[in-house]
Structure 1
Amino acid sequence: MKKLAAMVVMGLALVVTAKAAMAAPPADTLAEVKKKKVLVAGVKDSLPPFGYVDEKTREIVGYDIDFVKAIAKKLGAKLELKPVTSASRMPQLTEGNIDIIAATMTKNPERAKQISFSHTYFFTGQKFITRKGAVRSLRDLEGKKIGTAKGSTSEQNVKKAIPSATVLSFDDYPQAFLALQQGKVAAVTTDEAILAGILAKAPNKAQFEIPKVQISEEPYGLGMRKDDTKFVNFVNKTILEMEKSGEAKRIFDKWFGPGTPYHLQRTFRITADK
């Protein structure tokens, strides 16, 4: 009986070890992607124009997607897209389910302790969507309910900027905007470029606005596993080349330029971070 019990325990241990080995992320993502010829990117799928499902093609498209497409092409790899949320994207990366995050992710010191970031490939600032004429300054939001997304820097920034406000965190920004439309919150807060995307798609957009009230600067980086140096260097080299060739600006103009509903100015260039 003891022998049988020992064999069962040993068998279970082997299964657990095998599963752990399967789930473990590669030590060298660059080599692994080149070997598999597949790059798996975690992206948003309901956040135009960064990442959303195109109604005609049913494919995920957007600014973030075009950047990882360019990186996959440079690697000679097929691009596989996996939808993530603000809360799930870092766990998905560290657990080895994705190779890179391209999902409107702000670079900050806290996150940089857990993952590595590329050079800044998009730059924006955190603002609000409100009912038209309702907000002129931060004071107008004191003591009010404000919606944002779980696991986002927006969540932390607004708590610091307006301590008296009640922050309601939703799974994603479209849900937060729905709460604003229903009168459950007085404002939705996140990065201006994301807010512009949400507002552009709203059927009743004339009722809302993005006031000139900014509470932070938000540099976006592509996220990779900590100390995955070869892959980080490859990605950085690629996006610097995209800036130099004009491809990065063409991608920006495609999604944010004069021919789009967003009309944002490109106030940044991709440079090597200091």
Structure 2
Amino acid sequence: MRIQKAHMAVLLLPLIALSAHADQWADIQAKQSLSCGVYSDVPPFSSPNPQTRQLEGMDIDLCNSLAKHLGVTLELKPLSGEARVPEVKMGRVDVVIANLAYTKTRAQQIQYSDPYYVAKEVLVVKAPLADKPRAFFEGKRISATKGSTSEQSIRLAKARPVTFQDTGSAYLAVQQNKVLGVVTNTMSAIKLVNQAKASGVELGIAPEPMALEPISVGMRLEEPALLAKINDALYAMDKAGEIDQIWAKWIGPNTEYKMVREERVQKLSDMQFEALE
């Protein structure tokens, strides 16, 4: 009988351990802190202040606001871009806020909150083509950085991708008339248009985005309690105007990025978009 009881105890130990770690929100409450994975050096999202060496940026402010609404302290954990999904998947960070775009592949590995903004892959062209609809570019040669979501979005738009190692080389192909345009994210596109104008070249951004990329808080799969808390906090942050303030400070109209926040926090399940791979 003792042997049977001991055997049962051994079998139950993994189940006890699993149940103890099955609710990440309960773990966060118990330790009274939220570990937030952020970029180690990607301005304006998260990068060291040159004077203080402390991390600052849009994602840092979002982490701080989120922790405040959850009623816990914040622990920042700098990550590389490649480590964002693996670190949260393995539970080494509770959440990741690092300009994390929704893709089909990532959604199989981690869980996404409702998005707090929607990034866009946009097409930068010479000014005379700036009013053309997306359909005009079907079958046309368009450049992008190799292996990027920009390259994926060109295929999504039924155009022909011509890839380069960096955005600068992809833009040079536009100048040399090897392609009709270059696809990149909105922030990079605005900077590219402004820099070109300063050197006497008139560029424009085509009106229809090539692809939509919801930007969300990432967390471990199958954590419904944490997902609900994160979503509630995001809607509260939006209602209080905190996301607007953070946006305006780091990437708004009065910054070099000159971006206007067009979308509010919204249900990911309600969004109409074709997810990239």
State if a TM-score over 0.5 links the two structures.
yes
Structure 2 spans left out of the alignment, 5+ residues: 1-16, 271-277
| 2:120 paired residue number | 125
1:211 aligned partner, one-letter code = I
1:134 Cα deviation (Å)?
9.3
Contact 1:33 1:77 in 2 (8 A): no
Structure 1 spans left out of the alignment, 5+ residues: 1-20, 171-175
3-state SS of the aligned residue for 2:51? coil
Distance 1:178 1:166, change over 3 A: closer
**What is the aligned-residue identity percentage?**
26
| 2:185 paired residue number | 191
3-state SS of the aligned residue for 1:165? strand
| 1:54 paired residue number | 49
Residue of structure 2 aligned with 1:29, choices 24, 27, 41: 24
RMSD (Å) for aligned C-alpha atoms = 3.6
Structure-to-structure mapping, 1:103-182, within 5 angstroms: 103-128=98-123, 136=130, 139=137, 142-143=140-141, 145-147=143-145, 150=147, 153-161=149-157, 163-168=159-164, 176-180=166-170
2:231 aligned partner, one-letter code = N
1:139 Cα deviation (Å)?
4.1
1:43 Cα deviation (Å)?
2.2
3-state SS of the aligned residue for 1:48? coil
1:129 Cα deviation (Å)?
5.3
3-state SS of the aligned residue for 1:268? coil
1:76 aligned partner, one-letter code = V
1:265 Cα deviation (Å)?
1.7
* Aligned equivalents of 1:194, 1:36: Cα separation in 2: 39
Structure-to-structure mapping, 1:1-274, within 5 angstroms: 26-73=21-68, 74-85=70-81, 87-128=82-123, 136=130, 139=137, 142-143=140-141, 145-147=143-145, 150=147, 153-161=149-157, 163-168=159-164, 176-180=166-170, 189-193=183-187, 195-196=189-190, 199=192, 206-207=198-199, 211-212=205-206, 214-273=209-268, 274=270
* Aligned equivalents of 1:49, 1:108: Cα separation in 2: 22
1:237 Cα deviation (Å)?
0.9
1:266 aligned partner, one-letter code = R
1:114 Cα deviation (Å)?
2.6
C-alpha distance after superposition, 1:199-248 (max 9, x if no partner): 59x98883475622520222211111111111111111111111121212
What TM-score comes out, normalization by structure 2 length? 0.69
C-alpha distance after superposition, 1:156-208 (max 9, x if no partner): 2223335522334x6xxxxx335457779977633313544x659x9888347
What TM-score comes out, normalization by structure 1 length? 0.70
**How many correspondences in the alignment?**
239
Contact 1:47 1:194 in 2 (8 A): no
C-alpha distance after superposition, 1:122-141 (max 9, x if no partner): 123211457x6597467499
2:227 aligned partner, one-letter code = V
Q: Which has the larger radius of gyration?
A: 2
Task: Give the stretch that moved more between structures: 49-58 or 64-73.
Answer: 49-58
2:167 aligned partner, one-letter code = F
